[in-house]
Amino acid sequence: MKSLGIGLIGTGYMGKCHALAWNAVAPVFGDVPRPRLAVLAESSQGLAETKARELGFERATGDWRSLVSDPAVDVVSITTPNAFHPDMAIAALEAGKHVWCEKPMATGLADAERMLAAARASGKVAALGYNYIQNPVIRLIRKLLDEDRIGPVNHVRIEMDEDFMADPEALFYWKSEATSGHGALDDFGVHALSLVWTLFGGVRRVCGHMARPYPDRPLPDGGRRAVETYDIATTLIELENGASGMIALNRSAWGRKGRIAVQLFGPKGTIAYDQERMNEVQLYTTDGDRETQGFRTILAGPQHPPYDRFIPAPGHGLGFNELKIVECRQLIARIDGDPAVLIDFEDGIRIERTVDAVARSAHAGAWVDVG
């Protein structure tokens, strides 16, 4: 196992998250060489140099193309706005680099398919940034399902809500532009689909609806601009295993900060989980005395790996950034040819095809098969 040379493109919220993960993965897990933070790219040389100093990168550049061709870089982390993912990922793969690209793959299915073709041609690892599936609690849910604790799941219900676009007078910005994608559906609805994929596999068909709660937003210099994306999306789903389901998405839901409420129903019980309480899961089973049946809360702890790599005591809790460190370790495992819990471009394209099917269904007003 060699020390990997890291190139990071973009230093916003997710760029910093990737940098923290690359810095922490060796000391947290203790079984991998410390990655070399080789090159950081930003929109200008000055900003790149500032961020390189802050995040610990050796060199900085205002040209991302020079980063992907740099011989010191083995892995390219792509954390830019969604529309830039395809060109950057394809260029990195064609340059012989592994890729760790934030979700979604692209703002349209055709670009995502191009990214998959580039990954296949390169033979390199191409992974997507779905860190919620790395939660030890999600792994526990997967284990409970494998153990048939609630029986075969017959209904899946997922709600994902945030309020960062709830204010109708918040300024227009790029997430309201059509070039950013469909809106809530692919901006964060892909996270819900990543959980579906991890726990159950693919989706067979969908019936979707998308809505704009606010038709326009104010511009910084005055006037208003029409909103081109959909901040609300709802879809019925039929899983490949025949189970029914529903996914409801709203990024204009006042009071909701990072909610992903998952309910799984089976003949022997129910599993319930909420991302806002990401270190616990609720389990109801029908066995035992009916007088004492009820949901019980299971708190994450060292008995739920890899929680133990971070904290030796139960109930103290992991956070978003810790899940990205777990994802980073899984990426390194995949690069080394070891088994890994990871959504790569091969899996990710199934999510992108589902997103595309939901959007087509919403416009057609009918059920659509996922290709």
pLDDT in tens, 94-118: 999 999 999 999 999 999 999 999 9
**Which pTM does this prediction carry?**
0.95
> What letter would DSSP give residue 322?
H
What pLDDT sits at residue 1?
73
Residue 321 sits in a domain of what CATH number? Answer: 3.30.360.10
Kindly tell me the sign of the dihedral angle through the C-alpha atoms of 126, 129, 130, 136.
positive
Residues spanned by the domain of 151: 133-369
Contacts of 335 (CB under 8 A, 6+ apart): 4, 75, 98, 125
Same-domain pairing of 151 and 278: yes
Q: Give 139-158 pLDDT, tens digit per residue.
A: 999 999 999 999 999 999 99
Same-domain pairing of 120 and 138: no
Same-domain pairing of 221 and 343: yes
Same-domain pairing of 34 and 150: no
What pLDDT sits at residue 127?
98
Q: Give 316-339 pLDDT, tens digit per residue.
A: 999 999 999 999 999 999 999 999
Domain's final residue, options 71, 90, 124:
124
Residue 63 sits in a domain of what CATH number? Answer: 3.40.50.720
Same-domain pairing of 185 and 116: no
Contacts of 228 (CB under 8 A, 6+ apart): 176, 177, 178
Closest Cα to residue 252, out of 235, 276, 227?
Answer: 227
Same-domain pairing of 172 and 283: yes
Query: Two tokens at 140?
Result: 């526990």
- 198 sits in the region (left: phi over 0; alpha: psi -120 to 50; else beta) called alpha
Task: Determine the Cα–Cα distance for residues 202 and 108; give it in Å rounded to an integer.
Answer: 19
Q: Give 14-49 pLDDT, tens digit per residue.
A: 999 999 999 999 999 999 999 999 999 999 999 999
90 pLDDT band, cuts 50/70/90, is very high
- Inform me whether the pLDDT recorded for 204 exceeds 90: yes
Distances (CA, A) of 68 to 11, 76, 98, 224: 16, 7, 10, 39
CB atoms within 10 A of CB 36: 17
| Average pLDDT of span 340-355 | 97
Task: Determine the Cα–Cα distance for residues 326 and 324; give it in Å rounded to an integer.
Answer: 5
Domain's final residue, options 71, 106, 124:
124
Domain count of the fold of the chain:
2
Same-domain pairing of 158 and 277: yes
On whether the CB atoms of residues 209 and 168 are closer than 8 A, the answer is no
Domain's final residue, options 106, 124, 142:
124
